[in-house]
Amino acid sequence: MQDTSTIDIDLAAIEHNMSVIRRVVGDRCALCPIVKADAYGLGVSRVARRLVAAGAEMLAVYSLRQAIETAAAVNGATPILVLMPVTEIAREDELVRLMLGGQLHLVVHDEANLAALEACAQAIGVTLPVHLEIDVGMSRGGARPDEAARILRAIHEGGRLSLRGIFAHFSHSRCDAAITARQLEAYDAVIRANRRLIPDDVIEHVASTYALARSTRYHRSMVRFGLAWLGYGLEELEAPGAIMAPGDLRPVVRWSSQIVQAKEVPAGTAVGYGARWTAPRDSTIALVPVGYADGYPTQRGPSANGSLSVRLHAPSGAAVDAPVIGAVNMDQITVDVTGLCAGDARSWVGCTVELVSRDSGSRAHLPRLADAAGLIVHETLTRLNPRIARTVSISASSQAPQCTIEVVASRASDAAPQRLNSAVG
């Protein structure tokens, strides 16, 4: 086996998730998937076109370089929103082309940022579409309400920046309804106080995955989301009465490998560096050729206790979870398969191992794996090494990898993007 593991991206699951979100927010609310960090490490070239074909009317990234890569992936079919504070814009052909076409949307974070963007627009000779971020409590970028009011006035009276959007980002939308509601009110107060300075067609967007699933009051004219298109996020949402539930979405990612060795060891045998796990009985242990160099999380506690698990497809054909034992190594992990299948240890060699399973009931389901490692889903995904082979598939069921139809990865995003919704363009 040349590749020790494979990350599979289910295109049908992406389309399903986008259709679910569309039904929840309605036709008048635009969809803005976030594809930062190379679409969370899944490959923006293969993911972005699929999202546009599934109804995305804007795509959000973090940096100008990401904007260039994303625009190229979708052939300029939809505007790209750059979330970071931008103060300089090089005269690169790709950027100039995006700006001339009005496809590059930038964010104003404060008055200094406003002045820098005005200077950039003047130097290049374009009118820049901008979105104003109002800081309502995240304190991570954005302008405080009093400064936001001055920025709105300056944009209204100026000529080089065109206000296309206003937004906020909530700090507690996953877990605290009261704080989220107060932050929404702070946002609305700025809108009410400055209504005469705001064009009627401005795009309002305050909802990420958690807020859009919490209540329709957060949908406004656009929602921007990352975890939801990936099929995650709802497991962690603390919101009784939420309008979306975990089962509504399908996980997109499956990371798999196979067992390369298995052996029987007697009770009392130590496994791995530092003897962090000792067999409590005669045991069967299996070796999987994936480790922290690939991005598999390490166990953070003082001793390994089996909190990390994988999903195995046993020699019998059954799908079973098994604990990772001992230390996670650079390029291998050890799994306790004792009693999970009849037969000798050698029958396990070649069996499929899901390091990340699409089965939400598995302990190797990505949110459970991340939680067991003390991480979050975003971090776990973006830690996966780019050298790991990526494939794409179209599966009939997220629970049944054997039904997956493999597709050539380089052709994963050949579907023509749908026409951009004019309300956002």
Q: What confidence score (pLDDT) does residue 246 get? A: 87
The CATH number of the domain covering residues in 11-229: 3.20.20.10
Per-residue pLDDT tens digits for 66-88? 999 999 999 989 999 999 999 99
Q: What confidence score (pLDDT) does residue 300 get? A: 64
Check 40, 210, 263, 273 and give the catalytic one.
Answer: 273
Our answer to whether residue 36 is catalytic in this structure is yes
Per-residue pLDDT tens digits for 214-265? 999 999 999 999 999 999 999 999 999 999 998 999 999 999 999 999 999 9
pTM, 2 dp: 0.90
Check 36, 187, 232, 296 and give the catalytic one.
Answer: 36
Question: In this structure, what is the dihedral angle of CA atoms 106, 193, 31, 378, given to the nearest 10 degrees?
Answer: 70
Q: What confidence score (pLDDT) does residue 394 get? A: 82
Our answer to whether residue 263 is catalytic in this structure is no
Kindly report the CATH class assigned to 253-383: mainly beta
Q: What confidence score (pLDDT) does residue 418 get? A: 32
Q: What confidence score (pLDDT) does residue 424 get? A: 39
Domain with CATH 3.20.20.10 in the chain: 11-229
Q: What confidence score (pLDDT) does residue 159 get? A: 87
Give the chain's residues under pLDDT 50.
302-306, 396-425
Domain with CATH 2.40.37.10 in the chain: 253-383
